[in-house]
Amino acid sequence: MYAIVEIKGKQFKVQEQDTLYVPKLKDADVDDTVTFDRILLVGGDDIQIGAPTVSGAQMQAKVLGHVKADKVLVFKKKRRKRYKVTRGHRQQYTQLQVESLSLNGKNDNGTPEENNEQDES
């Protein structure tokens, strides 16, 4: 089972146990579990396309850390004017590991997800 997920305006194709780098999530700490519900497409045996999202589908991921990309150098020069400027930029990313993909409250093997609440019957 795979899914197309929208995270901070970018789309990612994910499967369980995938590691991906997304633009920095400011409110997520290391070892937190975050849930994303903007699932645009779910694929596998049968494909479900959302309009714009698949209702009830969720992705849970664990935050592995916050990292920076390689430095990008921007060099400007105007010849014969003694003008040279060098600027640098490092984009910040959050590293995530996909723990589970669920569709309509069920995980990928078709069994209902376990809740931590106790049944009072």
Q: How far is CA 78 from CA 44, 68, 72, 118, in A?
A: 55, 31, 20, 70
Local confidence pLDDT in tens for the 121 residues of the chain:
899 999 999 999 999 999 999 999 999 999 999 999 999 999 988 899 999 999 999 999 999 999 999 999 999 999 999 999 999 999 999 999 999 999 876 665 555 554 443 444 3
pLDDT for residue 63: 96
Residue 74's SS3 state is strand
The span from the CA of 116 to the CA of 61, in Å, is: 18
